[in-house]
């Protein structure tokens, strides 16, 4: 049986470093190869707004539905990421950025 590295402190640090490295790579390559136009400005503004509003909106959805279950959580956040991914496709940017 293999040890669960994601539960150890060292495993969590390694996993966080991988995510930061991947995010940095996507951001830099996105900036280098972006198609700078009005859609990109709208995409950047919508992403910033979604990062600020989506947790509040999700909290309201969870309160209205009573105790949030896993199905509700699995629908609210991916729906926001899907909408932002579609907007990023219009902007000819990377759809992974809002995710």
- What pLDDT digit, counting tens, does each position of 39-89 carry? 888 988 998 898 888 888 877 777 776 666 666 667 777 888 888 888 888
The pLDDT, as a whole number, for residue 21 is: 82
pTM: 0.62
The pLDDT, as a whole number, for residue 54 is: 82
The pLDDT, as a whole number, for residue 99 is: 61
On whether the CB atoms of residues 85 and 74 are closer than 8 A, the answer is: no
pLDDT at 25 over 70: yes
pLDDT at 27 over 70: yes
**In the chain, where the domains are located:** 1-33, 35-99
The pLDDT, as a whole number, for residue 67 is: 64
- Alpha carbon distance 26, 17 (integer Å): 14
The pLDDT, as a whole number, for residue 98 is: 64
- Alpha carbon distance 80, 73 (integer Å): 11
């Amino acid at each position: 049986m293999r040890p669960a590295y994601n539960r150890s402190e060292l495993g969590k640090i390694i996993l966080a470093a991988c995510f930061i490295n991947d995010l940095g790579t996507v951001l830099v390559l996105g900036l280098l190869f972006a198609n700078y136009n009005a859609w990109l400005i709208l995409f950047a503004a919508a992403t910033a707004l979604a990062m600020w509003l989506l947790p509040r909106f999700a909290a309201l959805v969870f309160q209205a539905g009573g105790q949030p279950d896993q199905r509700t959580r699995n629908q609210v956040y991916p729906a926001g990421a899907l909408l932002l991914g579609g907007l990023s496709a219009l902007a000819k940017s990377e759809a992974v950025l809002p995710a």
